[in-house]
């Protein structure tokens, strides 16, 4: 019997490989109060679990990191019934010990984005979610448990600095991010993680290290083409390992959705506005967030 729907957000390579393993596949074109998501959501079953996959950047990588419709993506998954999200994304490493090709189960973020819709509640009222622990400890622990038998090189924690982009960091910025305590640098985890919390969804992120960020000089003997080939190879290795990890997670018997998890109660004390002051139509439109 199918037990639960779990959302998966990632890139085209991961999505194509995962879709090939799903049974009873359906394609959903979803509309939300925040517009359309990045693309169709592919829903199917893997074992006794339903899976909803969404390509973050859309078909053909049409959305750059600053243009991804993050709010529509998360809202659409919640609207379809997902209560937990496993996300993946490529990053640069800010630490010598996080080598290209490694995976990191992220536990903290530093948000440097500034152009993106970072909340569902603009114009709704004052809504303040706790973000001290921005990822779901329960999902993270399950990911690490299923990773152990696989032999995948994986780091149990890491702080992800999310920059606006689309340009990469200057060397001075890269060194600053290291001084801040950042372990990874990327462009896509925020506001995705914040929106998942506002949607009362459990959220975990597996980061795929493609290369070292520019704090670490490249080998001057290697040309640009060689460096690009190395990055693509590292990313492919990390993607293959991430697919193995996510497949192992989705087939484990441990529940991935838990109604007693604190993530599932994120709005209980978050709405500060007098309910009588909240527009009735907005309440109806955002009702899926409160389910």
Residue numbers annotated as active site: 211, 213
User: Is 187 known as a binding-site position?
Assistant: yes
User: Is 211 known as a binding-site position?
Assistant: yes
Residue 74's nearest CA partner among 264, 290, 289, 291 is 289
- Angle, CA 12 vertex, CA 145 and CA 58 arms, to 5°: 120
Whether the link from the prior residue into 191 is cis, omega within 30° of 0, is: yes
User: Is 212 known as a binding-site position?
Assistant: yes
> 143 vs 22, 129, 181, 273, CA distance in Å?
20, 25, 23, 37
What's 271's DSSP letter? B
CB-based contact 158:204 (threshold 8 Å): no
Alpha carbons 70 and 143: distance in angstroms, whole number: 23
User: Is 61 known as a binding-site position?
Assistant: no
List 42's β-bridge partners, or say none: 27, 53
CB-based contact 9:87 (threshold 8 Å): yes
User: Is 12 known as a binding-site position?
Assistant: yes
| DSSP H/E element including 226 | helix 224-251
What's 116's DSSP letter? S
User: Is 188 known as a binding-site position?
Assistant: yes
Alpha carbons 162 and 179: distance in angstroms, whole number: 15
Q: For residue 17, how many other CB atoms are within 10 A of its CB?
A: 17
List 23's β-bridge partners, or say none: 45
User: Is 67 known as a binding-site position?
Assistant: no
User: Is 137 known as a binding-site position?
Assistant: no
Known binding site: residues?
Answer: 12, 56-57, 187-188, 211-213
Binding site, annotated residues for substrate: 187, 211-213
Annotated binding site for phosphate: 12, 56-57, 188
């Amino acid at each position: 019997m199918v037990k639960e729907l779990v959302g998966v957000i990632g890139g085209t390579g991961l999505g194509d490989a995962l879709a090939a393993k799903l049974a009873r596949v359906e394609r959903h074109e979803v509309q939300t109060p925040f517009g359309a998501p990045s693309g169709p959501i592919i829903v199917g079953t893997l074992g006794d679990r339903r899976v909803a996959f969404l390509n973050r950047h859309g078909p053909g990588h049409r959305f750059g990191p600053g243009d991804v419709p993050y709010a529509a993506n998360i809202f659409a998954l919640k609207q379809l019934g997902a209560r937990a999200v496993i996300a993946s994304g490529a990053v640069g490493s800010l630490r010598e010990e996080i080598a290209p090709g490694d995976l990191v189960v992220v536990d903290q973020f530093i948000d440097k984005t500034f152009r993106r819709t970072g909340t569902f509640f603009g114009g709704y009222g004052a809504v303040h979610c706790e973000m001290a622990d921005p990822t779901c400890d329960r999902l993270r622990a399950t990911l690490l448990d299923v990773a152990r038998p696989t032999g995948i090189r994986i780091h149990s924690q890491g702080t992800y600095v999310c920059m606006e982009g689309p340009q990469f960091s200057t060397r001075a910025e890269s060194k600053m991010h290291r001084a801040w305590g950042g372990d990874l640098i990327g462009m896509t985890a925020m506001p995705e993680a914040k929106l998942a919390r506002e949607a009362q969804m459990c959220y975990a992120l597996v980061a795929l290290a493609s290369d070292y960020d520019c704090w670490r000089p490249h080998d001057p003997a290697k040309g640009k083409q060689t460096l690009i080939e190395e990055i693509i190879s590292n990313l492919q290795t990390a993607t293959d390992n991430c697919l193995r990890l996510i497949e192992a997670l989705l087939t484990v018997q441990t529940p991935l959705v838990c109604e007693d998890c604190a993530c599932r109660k994120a709005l209980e004390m978050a709405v500060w506005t007098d309910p009588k002051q909240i527009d009735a139509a907005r309440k109806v439109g955002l009702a899926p967030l409160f389910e």
